[in-house]
Homo-oligomer: A and B are copies of this chain.
């Protein structure tokens, strides 16, 4: 048979990089490729306690169907935590999703017709690009600097692209660049979104992992017209394996996400929601996050020091104040996809940066993760990467 797929499947292709990176699960590989948290700081002992507690006290409910919107006490606790970044909402403005990736898919479903355009930072998160592509959209990349998206360029893009339907940004410790938007840019973004009447998707998986300095208020906290959708997750602060993220939006918009969730998978995992809720009752998540931040801060510092020593001076990288990634820019003529092949021969992996530009180009960039590998492997891996880069430089 010749199976006829929908037109949208033409945009959903297996990525060459993903195939290459499948090799990185071999234990001998030093991988800076994934966005994986450090497993050493997962709350395994605490999970034992809360699993038993949930099963003993509410076992039947934890195994039964539960509301599409999510477990009410957990929604309540999330709503309360949102006030830390200036967002004042109630549990009714929170929908629990299977990780924030599901919030991205739903955003595409809710806002995008074929040939509509999404305005994104250049570069932007690969997983979001893939999620939106399923809705047959175009991408308008707006240049960025260390303070976020360039607002003049954004306004130009808004003026010139009547098919723009949504603005997608990752303002805190951006994936892949590690950069954080300034307060001024955030305010200006809301102003422009108001002027051009577009929704903003604010994706914020890393904001709670700030190693130094003060947290900057969320873009949603500046939302005067209910047009900002905030996506959050416990993947980086608690556990990605439990798949608990959330959407925070105005009543009207959240209602659309709830309807879409109903059709997409009915509800998120009842048991995991109750476990997380019990964890938040019994333990101090902030204390737990402090442990994570201490570990990542040390790894980031170690990585930057090792890069300084072993990377050639032509190579530049960002200096994130939090999150999981740094962004490396190589001399123009070096292709990071080719570099990855060489690095994998020596058991080191990263993600070539070209993948983060939906319209292509920028093949001389790489995303490097510093959260997952233990210290000695960070040093070893960066040394090897330095050698591989030097070899590539010398070839030209």
Residues of chain A touching chain B, judged by Cβ–Cβ distance below 8 Å, are 1-9, 12-14, 34, 36-37, 39-40, 42-44, 47-48, 51-52, 55-56, 59-66, 97-99, 101-102, 105, 109-113, 116, 127, 130-131, 133-135, 165, 194, 197, 199, 225-227, 239-243, 252-253, 255-256, 259-260, 262-272
Q: A268 to chain B: which residues have CB within 8 Å?
A: 98, 243
Measured between beta carbons, the chain B residues less than 8 angstroms from A12 are: 256, 259-260, 263
**Most interface-central of A6, A194, A262 (chain B CB within 10 A):** A6
Cα A109 to Cα B108 in complex, Å, equals 13
Given A98-B98, A271-B241: A48 touches B42 (CB 8 Å cut-off):
no
Q: Known: A98-B265, A109-B6. Is A56-B64 also a contact (CB below 8 A)?
A: no
Q: Which residues in B have their C-beta under 8 angstroms from that of A9?
A: 110, 256
In the complex, what residues of B have CB within 8 A of residue A197's CB? 1-2, 4
CB atoms of B271 and A63 under 8 A apart: no
Contact B63 A42 (CB under 8 A): yes
Given contacts A42-B60, A52-B48, A64-B36, contact A267 B243 (CB under 8 A): yes
Closest Cβ neighbor of A270 among chain B residues: B241
A260 touches B134 (CB 8 A): yes
Would you call A44 and B64 a contact (CB within 8 A)?
no
A62 to B42, CA, bound (A): 10
CB within 8 A of A64: which of B1, B133, B240?
Answer: B240
Indicate if the CB atoms of A264 and B101 lie closer than 8 Å: yes
Can you sample 8 A-B contacts with CB below 8 Å?
A: A1-B194, A6-B111, A12-B256, A40-B60, A42-B59, A48-B55, A64-B241, A271-B272
A48 to B127, CA, bound (A): 35
- Chain B's closest residue to A193 (CB) is B1
Q: Are B1's CB and A225's CB within 8 A?
A: yes
Q: Report the copy number of this chain in the oligomer.
A: 2
Q: Which residues of B contact A255 (CB under 8 A)?
A: 14
Q: Are B44 and A113 in contact (CB under 8 A)?
A: no
Chain B min CB distance to A64 (Å): 5
Contacts A5-B256, A52-B51, A197-B2 given; does A127 touch B263 at CB 8 Å: yes
Residues A55 and B65 in contact, CB atoms below 8 Å apart: no
Are A66 and B241 in contact, CB atoms less than 8 angstroms apart? Answer: yes
Identity of the chain B residue whose Cβ is nearest the Cβ of A105 in the assembled complex: B264
Which chain B residues border A102 with CB–CB below 8 Å? 264-265
Judging by beta carbons under 8 Å apart, are A269 and B252 in contact? no
In the complex, given contacts A40-B60, A99-B266, what are 18 additional A-B residue pairs having Cβ atoms less than 8 angstroms apart?
Answer: A1-B225, A6-B109, A7-B113, A9-B256, A12-B260, A39-B63, A42-B60, A44-B59, A47-B55, A47-B271, A63-B241, A64-B240, A65-B241, A127-B266, A133-B263, A239-B271, A241-B269, A243-B269
A58: nearest residue on chain B (CB-CB)?
B44
Which residue from chain B places its CB closest to the CB of A4 in the assembled complex? B165
A63 and B242: CB pair below 8 A?
Answer: yes
Give the distance in Å from the alpha carbon of A255 to the alpha carbon of B116 in the complex: 27
With both chains docked as a complex, state the minimum distance between the C-beta of A63 and any C-beta of chain B, in angstroms: 4
A252 to chain B: closest CB distance in Å? 7
CA distance A97 to B271 in the complex (A): 16
B6 touches A135 (CB 8 A): yes
CA distance A253 to B260 in the complex (A): 24
Which residue of chain B is the closest to A199 with respect to CB atoms?
B3
In the assembled complex, which residues on chain B have CB atoms less than 8 Å from the CB atom of A111?
4-6
What is the CA–CA distance of A127 and B261 in the complex, to the nearest angstrom? 11
Q: Tell me which residues across on chain B come within 8 A of A47, comparing CB atoms.
A: 55, 59, 63, 271
